[in-house]
């Protein structure tokens, strides 16, 4: 952590005193520590304690400095935000985007990774509202350091005790490592479906939404990569930092990928590209008739195979959406298209497409396999990038 900028947010729970020990350990590890305390946190631990440990001023109010905007300055300077302890009230405000004090303003203004360490009574932790709020924050990419089971302030024994110091340091250190592990990489991601027009109002397509590819692009940007995103038709907005090329057909996507691939070091093809297109596109809407009509089709270019045929040092990752023999089909695609790795998922029923939770398994080589588990597509994007960074560095 030497020289890394950590912002420690301390909220008003009895576990606030433990944040002082964490602050000391972060400083000893070399972190440059800024501390933001809520008004309730100051009821448990004085600001002077943290100021002495960090050897820096402690921030308690959005109005403390008139020559600058404190929450914007702090948000831009930090490399990770860690809220230790995080009360149920603060967690609720973060989930809803409420910014009514300095700490919540900083979080809303920051693009740095967010680490949240809940600490509260078991009943509050298990309340449906708290569980829902934590799920919302996880889905946005926050790292939740789950509390332990132990002795609580209410003289009770149960879940809600602040996580141990080692777990907190590990979470903060992991978040810091991720902010730089793609620095210097130029990443190309394809996402979304393609549409192959039959006439001006009808087309061939599929259920892909582009969600997973967009989240992979967002995560890559957070880790320091330069991102090229080739995005098929979707109402979803791409991350602002990506250089986005919008396309419609498979031929459009193939041309855009060929153009954008120059100088790319990693490519991830999540797009669901139509294999076939109508042989003829009608200029006007085809009118309904009583007799069935045949639709002649012709092959589309294979965007992923074209990338695999001319990799030239590119680390290439494909996606396989399967309904049966998942890993066998994915491994065949891995070899045939000259991929370095492939992520496979089951898209039967309600799974896989859109904003629903997903589950991925990453395959590589003749027998390499890593189960990335299930979760939101933002969570899976982080896990997939962790695995790709590790594979690429070992290559």
Max distance between CA atoms of the chain, in angstroms, equals 84
pTM over 0.85: no
Q: What is the pLDDT of residues 253-288, one digit of tens each?
A: 999 999 999 999 999 999 999 999 999 888 899 888
Residue range 289-307: average pLDDT? 87
Alpha-carbon 214 to chain mean position: 9
pLDDT at 293: 77
How many Å apart are CA 144 and CA 228, to the nearest integer? 29
Active site residue 206: yes
Residue range 226-250: average pLDDT? 95
pLDDT at 311: 84
pLDDT at 62: 82
Q: What is the pLDDT of residues 32-80, one digit of tens each?
A: 999 999 999 999 999 999 999 999 999 998 877 655 677 788 988 899 9
How many Å apart are CA 328 and CA 351, to the nearest integer? 19
Q: Which domains does the chain have, with CATH numbers?
A: 5-178 (3.40.50.1950), 186-284+292-394 (3.40.50.10300)
Q: What is the pLDDT of residues 309-367, one digit of tens each?
A: 988 889 999 999 887 888 999 999 999 999 999 999 888 765 556 666 788 999 999 89
- Long-range contacts at 375-378 (CB < 8 A, ≥ 24 apart): 375/138, 376/138, 376/139, 377/211, 377/212, 377/215, 378/139, 378/140, 378/141, 378/215, 378/218, 378/219
Dihedral sign, CA of 264, 270, 275, 277? negative
Cβ atoms < 10 Å from Cβ of 367: 7
Q: What is the Cα Rg of the chain in Å?
A: 24
Q: Which residue has the higher pLDDT, 386 or 139?
A: 386
pLDDT at 159: 86
H/E segment holding residue 19: helix 16-28
pLDDT at 65: 63
Contact of 59 with 36, CB cutoff 8 Å: yes
Q: Give me the DSSP letters along 193-218.
A: B--EESSSS-EE--S--SHHHHHHHH
pLDDT at 351: 59
Res 98 pLDDT > 90:
yes
pLDDT band at residue 232 under the 50/70/90 scheme: very high
Cβ atoms < 10 Å from Cβ of 93: 20
141 phi-psi bin (left φ>0, alpha ψ -120 to 50, beta other): left
Backbone torsions φ then ψ of 300, nearest 5 degrees = -90, 160
How many Å apart are CA 137 and CA 133, to the nearest integer? 6
Catalytic hit among 89, 206, 306, 329: 206
Give the residue ranges of DSSP H helices in 127-247: 128-139, 165-178, 211-222
Beta strand 148-151 with 143-144 is unpaired
């Amino acid at each position: 952590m030497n020289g890394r900028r950590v912002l420690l947010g301390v909220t008003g729970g009895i576990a606030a005193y433990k944040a002082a020990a964490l602050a000391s350990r972060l400083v000893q590890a070399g972190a440059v520590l800024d501390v933001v305390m809520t008004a309730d946190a100051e009821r448990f631990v004085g600001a002077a304690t943290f100021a002495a440990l960090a050897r820096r001023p402690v921030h308690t109010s959005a109005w403390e400095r008139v020559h600058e905007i404190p929450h914007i300055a702090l948000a831009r300077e930090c490399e990770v935000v860690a809220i230790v302890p995080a009360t149920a009230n603060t967690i609720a405000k973060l989930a809803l985007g409420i910014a009514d004090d300095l700490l919540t303003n900083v979080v809303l203004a920051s693009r740095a990774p967010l680490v949240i360490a809940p600490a509260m009574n078991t009943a509050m932790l298990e309340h449906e509202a708290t569980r829902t709020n934590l799920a919302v924050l996880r889905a946005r990419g926050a790292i939740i350091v789950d509390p332990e089971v132990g002795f609580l302030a209410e003289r009770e024994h149960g879940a809600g005790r602040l996580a141990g110091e080692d777990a907190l340091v590990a979470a903060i250190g992991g978040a810091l490592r991720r902010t730089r592990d793609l620095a210097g990489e130029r990443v190309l991601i394809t996402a979304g479906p393609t549409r192959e027009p039959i006439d001006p109002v009808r087309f061939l397509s599929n259920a892909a939404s582009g969600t997973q590819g967009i989240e992979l692009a967002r995560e890559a940007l957070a880790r320091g990569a330069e991102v090229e995103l080739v995005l098929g038709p979707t109402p979803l907005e791409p991350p602002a930092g990506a250089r986005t090329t919008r396309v419609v057909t498979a031929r459009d996507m193939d041309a855009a990928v060929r153009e954008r691939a120059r100088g790319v070091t990693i490519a991830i093809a999540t797009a669901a590209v139509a294999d076939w297109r109508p042989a003829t596109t009608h200029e006007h809407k085809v009118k309904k008739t009583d007799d069935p009509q045949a639709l002649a089709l012709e092959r589309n270019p294979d965007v992923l195979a074209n990338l695999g045929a001319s990799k030239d040092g590119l680390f290439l990752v494909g996606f396989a959406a399967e309904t049966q023999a998942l890993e066998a089909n994915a491994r065949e695609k891995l070899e045939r298209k000259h991929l370095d790795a492939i992520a496979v998922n089951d898209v039967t029923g309600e799974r896989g497409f859109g904003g629903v939770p997903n589950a991925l398994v990453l395959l590589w080589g003749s027998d390499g396999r890593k189960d990335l588990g299930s979760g939101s597509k933002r969570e899976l994007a982080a896990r997939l990038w962790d695995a790709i960074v590790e594979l690429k560095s070992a290559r």
